Amino acid sequence: MFQNNIEYARKQDAEDSLASFRNKFHIPKNDFGEEMVYLCGNSLGLQPKITSEYIQEVLNDWAKFGVEGHTEAKNAWLPYHEFLAENMAKIVGAKPSEVVVMNTLTTNLHLMMVSFYQPTKTKYKIVVESDAFPSDKYAVESQLKFHGVDIKDALILWKPRKGEELCRFEDLEEIMKQHGNEIALLMIGSTNYYTGQSFPLKKITELGHKYKCMVGFDLAHGAGNIQPNLHETGADFAVWCTYKYLNSGPGSLGGCFVHERHANNEKLNRFAGWWGHNKKTRFNMRKDFDALPGAEGWQLSNPPILSMAAIRASLDTFAEAGFENIRKKSEKLTGYLEFLLDEMKNEAINVITPRNPEERGCQLSIQVKNADKRLHTKLTEAGVISDWREPDVIRIAPAPLYNSFEDVFKFSEKLKEVLKK
């Protein structure tokens, strides 16, 4: 059904109901003022043009009101995080009370593990997918160490089989059969940053709960990319960042999900701060900690409003496009990329990401035989911004909000050229 020519790609763009959204973003240009082919939204999403207005509004209110901005600002700072909850909840398929924007991803992961990893003498192991993102691995290992648990004994890796790149659900089932009674937590990246594989979150949650384990997901590569339907999966918690597919700017705040069944769960440990305290008495200052129900109760500090303004701008853009439309375009756009790679019939390249659209987001990870980082440099020189992961993988992520079918076509032509050299 797809065709390998630029006229076809342009026709798809002309018929794309989301095509106009590209104009709402700043697209990086080369020294000659030509737009680059930006396929790196999995690492840092592009800047929506409205972001500067949203941030300027906060700067203006701060100039105008000083401290009074907490209540007098156009969008008051005191409840500012609440303006984000509803749109963010839609993106991850949760109820607004289950979602809060706060801190950054790794910080939230630690806070969640403080609450959801409470090892006992007999139930203390943690399962992670092998080749998890380094920060997740460090966080999990340091939590084990913090509890005095031997990492070698307690950390179980869900690994691809020999000679394979992807993790199989049956192998996780086998791990649970063997060690389920000793496992306290399953901590899985929803969409693996390296392979692009999206895991079956609901099945994993049900499996974990069958063995009375807590289940948490890292949605760094899921949020804004796939629909994780967090509430429905029943997961205990999830964390994510907003600077990748959610286009909220470098180092912007993270998101956190706590399932509503834990909204008032007093059995959970918690590292607390004043922003998680009952809003009515927060400023009385001398009260004992009285946790807000739901995810908000995990907040520590009064948040950076300037950064939240960028998140608001981005979420408004997502809401305008509608996540279902975004996902629909994403499947087609990535399908087109896959088609063009197949058409190259080049034995040196191998897409390691699953072929089934339900098992992936927009990213395809392309393994290139005998290649090294010079390939990535050549692509950059040819005007493609992509991402290289050692030892031999280029990650290409056409983001449906701002990437076009023409971008994908141009990339495939440039890759062909570069591989010939």
Residue 409 as a binder of ligand PLP (CB under 6 A): the answer is no
Q: Is 288 annotated among the ligand-binding residues?
A: no
Residue 129 as a binder of ligand PLP (CB under 6 A): the answer is no
Nearest residue (CB) to ligand PLP, 39 versus 341: 39
Q: How many Å is the maximal CA-CA distance in the chain?
A: 70
CA angle 95, 101, 103 (to 5 degrees): 145
Which 232-271 positions form the footprint of ligand PLP (CB under 6 A)? 241
Q: How many residues bind ligand PLP (CB under 6 A)?
A: 12
Q: Which stretch binds ligand PLP (CB under 6 A): 70-78, 130-138, 141-149, 399-407?
A: 130-138
Q: Which stretch binds ligand PLP (CB under 6 A): 20-28, 104-112, 154-162, 384-392?
A: 104-112
Residue 92 as a binder of ligand PLP (CB under 6 A): the answer is no
Q: Quick one: 219 exposed, middle or buried, by C-beta within 10 A (0-12, 13-18, 19+)?
A: buried
Residue 105 as a binder of ligand PLP (CB under 6 A): the answer is yes
Distance CA 340, CA 406 (A): 12
For residues 38 and 46, is the Cβ–Cβ distance under 8 A?
Answer: yes
Binding mask 176-205 for ligand PLP (x = CB under 6 A): -------------x---x------------
Q: Is 142 annotated among the ligand-binding residues?
A: no
Distance CA 77, CA 303 (A): 9
Closest CA to 103 of 289, 365, 279, 296: 296
Q: Which stretch binds ligand PLP (CB under 6 A): 74-82, 102-110, 156-164, 388-396?
A: 102-110
Distance CA 296, CA 252 (A): 18
Q: At what angle do helices 305-321 and 51-65 cross, to 10 degrees?
A: 140
For residues 84 and 332, is the Cβ–Cβ distance under 8 A?
Answer: no
Residue 414 as a binder of ligand PLP (CB under 6 A): the answer is no
Q: Is 302 annotated among the ligand-binding residues?
A: yes
Q: Is 13 annotated among the ligand-binding residues?
A: no
Distance CA 187, CA 47 (A): 31
Q: Which residues are annotated as a binding site for pyridoxal 5'-phosphate?
A: 105-106, 133-136, 218, 221, 243, 274, 302
Which residues bind to ligand PLP, rule: CB under 6 A? 104-106, 133, 135-136, 189, 193, 218, 220-221, 241
Q: Which residues are annotated as a binding site?
A: 105-106, 133-136, 218, 221, 243, 274, 302
